[in-house]
Amino acid sequence: MKRLITLATAIALCAAGTAFAHGYKAGPIEIDHPWSRATVAAVPTGVVYFVLRNPSQEEDRLVAVSTPAAEKAELHTHIRDGDVMRMRKVDAVEVAPASTTALEPGGLHVMLIGLKQPLVKGKAFPLTLVFEEAGPVTVQVDVQGATDKAPSHTGSGRDGHTH
């Protein structure tokens, strides 16, 4: 019975916008649905996507990322160079006051370089995000299918509460 009440409370809070599934917080910054695509052994790189929400009136910046799943993790964006889209490393991702910033396919993203093993659909791995003001937070990244274009709403067994 207690579990049912807790689940009902979590659902009500999600509906009210005060908590969200697959979410984490660093200070006021909310990190929603961290996800990646599955990779194969021959591919040494991967990507991570998520949404950053800043309900506060203070600006912040995502300044660093790291994971034990890869030798290096970097913040990247896609830019148009003539008729070609190219990836470029960025020093930080601005998180403006009262805004939402999406790290998504075709835009800003986390690039994983030198994967230590392939990313397997249905598994998860830790990723640490470091914000200039809010500080560090470690999130669990759900690995989706290799061709997925958006996060699944079925996680890898996490409790679904804001962490």
Query: What is the count of structural domains for the chain?
Result: 1
| The pLDDT of residue 56 | 96
Q: Is residue 151 part of a domain?
A: no
Tokens encoding 153: 């709403």
Q: Which domain holds residue 94?
A: 23-144
Only one residue has tokens 């052994």, namely: 41
Q: Residue 74 pLDDT > 70, yes or no? A: yes
Strands of the chain, DSSP E:
23-26, 29-37, 45-54, 60-66, 70-81, 84-89, 93-95, 99-103, 109-115, 124-131, 135-144
**Would you place residue 22 in the very low, low, confident or very high pLDDT band (cuts 50, 70, 90)?**
low
More confident site: 95 or 10? 95
Each residue of 36-72: pLDDT tens digit? 999 998 999 999 999 999 999 999 999 999 999 999 9
Does 78 fall in a domain? yes
Per DSSP bridges, beta strands 29-37 and 135-144 are parallel
Structural domain contains residue 92: yes
- pLDDT band, very low/low/confident/very high, at 17 (cuts 50, 70, 90): very low
| CATH code of 111's domain | 2.60.40.1890
For tokens 């990322």, name the residue: 65
Q: Is residue 31 part of a domain?
A: yes
**Least confident stretch, 22-31, 57-66, 104-113, 144-153:** 144-153
Neighbours of 133 (CB within 10 A): 15
Domain assignment present for 156: no
Average pLDDT over residues 87-115: 95
The answer to whether residue 14 scores a pLDDT higher than 80 is no
Residue 6 lies in a domain: no
> What span, in angstroms and rounded, lies between the C-alpha atoms of 160 and 163?
9
Global pTM value = 0.78
Q: Is residue 11 part of a domain?
A: no
Count, residues in the chain: 163
Per DSSP, helices labelled H in the chain are 2-16
Residue 23 pLDDT level (bands cut at 50, 70, 90) = confident
Is residue 33 assigned to a domain?
yes
Q: What is the pLDDT of residue 153?
A: 57
How many CA within 13 A on the CB side of residue 124?
A: 18
Give the residue among 158, 149, 64, 44 at the shortest CA–CA distance from 104.
149
